[in-house]
Structure 1
Amino acid sequence: MSEVIFGSVLSALSTGLGAFIILFMSETVTHRWRDNLLAFTAGIMMAASTLGLIPEALKTGGFIQLSIGIFLGVLVLTLMEKNIPHIDLKHSKMGIEFDEKAMLIIAAITLHNIPEGLSVGVSYASHIQDTGNLIAFAIGLQNAPEGFLVALFLVNQKINKFKAFIIATMTGAIEIVMGLLGFYLTSYVDFLVPYGLAFAAGAMLFIIYKELIPESHGDGNERTSTYSFIIGLLFMVLLIDVFA
């Protein structure tokens, strides 16, 4: 129990860790750097889902459970995307009021963090050695650049740096709640474990292909973003090889 709490808090607070950088920045960053960050996190998530979550789902269940879980994850993310306002962190509209803008960002980013929190909780419930720590670390690595980009977006909209830091940090807080929920559900209903792992993998794959990769290619930086994606994937593979 203590491990899932620690892992959930670690992955969630990584959002604030990334956002913390914004307090010390005097200038904004280029589109190239932002695109490379997005692609790097996509590589991390790809390795975590295909080399961590999917193999464990097959071990604890089978191909049918894996397929059902992945499609459920994709379906849920599809429904969320259709019904939750999506704000592009680099090309958003200008001129709306702070309250509306803040609420849109909090709603969109926070709700999109739900599958990530579930991923951490379900991974700890699988009782497979180090899977929980590995997924929590992967999600944390993904959350840090996300927190930075959210805070950067807010600062670019003339919002106070400290307020931007607080808002960005709070968007990750829901992962703690969802981590505990995922852990309890799959711990007490054992047959849900492979479905939960596959659901998390499906949600992550959707985010990678629908959000991170297209956004990292949006400003003509396809080649460097591709390199960053590969580096992120290899970095996560190294961690899996060393700690798994």
Structure 2
Amino acid sequence: MELLGNLTFVFVAGFITALATGIGALPFFFFETISDRRNILLWGLASGIMVSASLFGLIEEGLAEGSGWEIAVGMAAGVVLVVVAHEIIVDAEIDPQEYEEADFKKLVLILGILTVHSFPEGVAVGVSFADLGLAGGTQILGATVPVLAIFMTVAISIHNIPEGTAISIPLKSMGVANWKLVWWAVFSSLPQPIGAVLAFGFVRVAREFLPFGFGFAAGAMIYLVLSEFIPEALDLGENVPRGGKPELVGGIAFGVLLMLPLRYV
């Protein structure tokens, strides 16, 4: 029963990160468009948060549990997953505009592809809860929650906000209702709680693989930032003064500052 309770707790944490994606659609209730400068700032913020959480949280925690080579192998595996996921998504040519027009079979296909895309984020949440219920954490709803898990849940949630905005922009141009923008944004991250539960269950049963799990999540997150977040911000900056670099750097710096407390807990 304790394991079931822990799995439920982790699932809820993962579901919170998925719900946060819907926040990215909320501005469209008040504005018809979101400026490129604001989007660049959001991508920078997400980048700073994810890299900091990976370096100060996942990698340091992994080194406390195992050796450097275990972390390195895990990071390499995480990078491979992101590369494979990217290739699958490119080959499938799934566009957010297809969400609204898809039938059930198409939605299943889309959800399957999103599962591959969102899995690294779910893994990051799941492995950060490895010490759930053990000594040394913070009491939340009667459970002892690792501080790393709190930071990682917040980090992934913030990271999901610009994702939700990016998904909502093409749907908004199609005239999709605002409340549906929120739904489709959340839908895109629904695989995250599943990935979180699977990762948590695995590292709890096979504790010796925990360093690999930390490395896997860190490698995937850092590579996502370098291969997707920053290029996305730079693409948006093509029509912004100075290429949007001040906004990008400012967002990254603010994201790092938000995660700095993780370095000292």
TM-score bracket for the superposition, by shorter chain length: 0.7 to 0.9
Do 2:96 and 2:170's aligned partners in 1 also have CA atoms closer than 8 Å?
A: no
Structure 2 residue 249 is matched with structure 1 residue 226: yes
Match of 1:55 in 2: 60
Counterpart position of 1:10? 16
Partner-residue secondary structure (3-state), 2:229: helix
- Do the aligned partners of 2:74 and 2:216 also contact (CA within 8 Å) in 1? yes
Q: CA deviation at 1:105?
A: 6.9
Judge conservation of contact 2:124–2:217 (CA < 8 Å) in 1. yes
**Which residue does 2:156 correspond to in 1?**
139
Determine whether 1:188 maps to 2:205. Answer: yes
In the TM superposition, residue 180 of structure 1 has moved relative to its aligned partner by: 0.7
1:193 & 1:116 partners in 2: Cα distance?
A: 16
Does the 8 Å CA contact 2:129/2:148 hold for their aligned counterparts?
yes
Could you tell me how far apart the structure 2 residues matched to 1:241 and 1:97 are?
40
**1:228 deviation in Å?**
1.3
AA aligned opposite 1:233? V
In 2, Cα distance between equivalents of 1:184 and 1:199: 15
State how 1:41-120 maps to structure 2 within 5 Å: 41-85=46-90, 99=101, 109-120=114-125
Distance (whole Å) between structure 1 residues aligned to residue 174 and residue 59 of structure 2: 39
Q: What is the CA distance between 1:164 and its match in structure 2? A: 2.1
Q: CA RMSD of the aligned region, Å?
A: 2.8
Contact 1:57/1:198 (<8 A) preserved:
yes
Structure 2: distance between partners of 1:135 and 1:196: 14
CA contact (8 A) 1:151 1:168 kept: yes
SS at match of 2:207: coil
TM-score between the two structures when normalised by the length of structure 2? 0.80
Deviates more, 1:42-51 or 1:213-222: 213-222
CA radius of gyration, larger in = 2
Q: Does the 8 A contact of 1:106 with 1:167 survive in 2?
A: no
Per-residue deviation, residues 35-65 of structure 1 (Å, max 9, x unmatched): 1111111011011001100001111111111
Partner SS state of residue 84, structure 1: helix
Structure 2 gaps of 5+ residues are 1-5, 137-145, 238-242
**Separation in 2 of the partners of 1:98 and 1:207?**
26
| Residue-by-residue CA offset, 1:82-135 (whole Å, 9 max, x unaligned) | 1213899xxx899x89536x9697665553211101111111014573111211
1:80/1:64 CA distance change after superposition, 3 Å: same
- Matching residue's letter, 1:232: G
Q: 1:181–1:93: structure 2 CA closer, same or farther, 3 Å change rule?
A: closer
User: Relative to 1, partners in 2 of residues 1:21 and 1:170: Cα closer, same or farther, differing over 3 Å?
Assistant: same
Q: Report the TM-score when normalising by structure 1.
A: 0.86
- Tell me the amino acid that sits aligned with residue 75 of structure 1: V
Matched length? 237
**CA spacing shift, 1:93–1:26, aligned 2, 3 Å:** closer
